[in-house]
Amino acid sequence: MSSNEARAAVEAVWRMESARVVGALARYTGDFLLAEDLAQEALAEALVSWSVNGIPAEPVGWLLTTGRRRAVDTFRRRAARDEKYALLARDLSEELPGADSLFDPDAIDDDVLALMFISCHPVLSREARIALTLRVVGGMGTDEIAKAFLVPVPTIQARITRAKKTLAAAHIPFAVPETRDVPERLGSVLQVVYLIFTEGSFASGGDSWMRTDLAGEARRLARVLTRLTPEPEVFGLLALMELTAARFPARLDTSGRPVLLEDQDRRLWDQSAIRRGRAALAKAVAAGRGLGAYGLQASIAECHAVAPSVAETDWQRIVILYEALGRLAPSPVVELNRAVAVAMASGPAAGLELVDAIASRGELNGSHLLPGVRGELLTRLGRLGEAESALQQAVALCTNAAERAALERKIDELARP
């Protein structure tokens, strides 16, 4: 086997099974930070061994056994200076059960869930949580993460290193939190997955409007969570992502330019994703606890998904859902989206009044979203000079090249008869 084939095989196994490998090694060693290092060492050894000996029949078992042997070596090296590791080293033997004992099907789900809770621990900054989750749970390389978030590789490496040091300093145990602590910690996990998806579906910078690989990774993580902790809001988040991703095939034209909702060919929408999203939303509703913030957003996305056109969308229901979302999770962006829905339901003048109220409070200063919406509503009201001024402001503030180009095309259209 060539080295390139071996690398491709290692990367494929790692992307799919990294969380299980790191989680099992963390359970074995009792040390999350050491487990991640051991897994990386096993990967490095696989690159050499698999190119010479071929891909093993059980690739994950091979990585676990190799990681376990590296753990034994590490414990023995540390035994001379650390009493705790001396006790571990004394009891460890190469003849003890290897991968079979690590890959315990009764413990593997808890391993992955514990890994997600640690990676998204509230003691870490938002940026650190995202980077560590994508690295350890998602199996993405630092170069991939850096590319996705448009930051230098050393920046991502520094975030991950700081995150590990913070977890070590805080003595965070490798374990699923106590039942009483799960709701708070689960909220942190869901926020991280949501932020990853948001960056994938609406890229904050760069040349591409979307990064579907990043959004796809977030959906995969959410599916894992629905299996590990089937809470209503987890299903709500998965529903939101599936229903939003269903529109991806229609959001770019053949030249790669953004296509806005009102111009999209709805025949291109992914009906399978819509069915999955609606099924997940139904599970969230069936729990009978009321929808959370993600579930409400999923309900809004469902309104779009089932409507034959923009004109036939149930905008009144969307207004009500945004009002509920604003009470549950208030933010100026939610208010701006509600203003858009009001404009669609009751006319652009009603929507513009709400937008101007948001602008007067200065809550979205520095964001291109508000002047972009304002320019659209002013255009619909025939106030073209003011519309152009607002859209020019949006262009100046927009950091995504594809979205900026779409705004510039709107300005060009204002000049046409």
pLDDT in tens, the chain (417 residues): 677 787 888 888 887 788 888 888 888 888 888 888 888 899 888 888 888 888 888 888 889 888 888 887 777 776 655 665 555 544 554 444 555 556 555 555 678 888 888 888 889 998 898 889 888 888 878 887 887 676 889 999 999 999 989 998 998 888 878 777 777 788 888 988 898 898 888 776 666 767 788 888 889 889 988 988 899 999 999 999 999 999 999 998 888 888 888 899 999 999 999 999 999 999 999 999 999 999 999 999 999 999 999 999 999 999 999 999 999 999 999 999 999 999 999 999 999 999 999 999 988 888 899 999 999 999 999 999 999 999 999 999 988 888 888 899 899 988 776
- CA–CA–CA angle 99, 104, 108 (5° rounding): 115
Best CA proximity match to 239, nearest among 166, 190, 179: 190
Helices marked H in 54-96 — which ranges? Answer: 59-79, 83-91
Burial class from Cβ neighbours inside 10 Å (0-12, 13-18, 19+) for residue 382 reads: exposed
**DSSP secondary structure string for all residues of 148-199:** HHT--HHHHHHHHHHHHHHHHHTT--SSPPPGGGHHHHHHHHHHHHHHHHHH
Q: Are 351 and 377 in contact (CB under 8 A)?
A: yes
What separation in angstroms does the CA of 372 have from each of 32, 169, 403, 404? 45, 45, 10, 10
Structure tokens at 127: 């940026």
- Letter for the amino acid at 109? D
Q: How far apart are CA 396 and CA 206, in angstroms?
A: 15
Tokens 């520094």 -> residue: 158
Q: How far apart are CA 217 and CA 222, in angstroms?
A: 9
Q: How far apart are CA 132 and CA 203, in angstroms?
A: 20
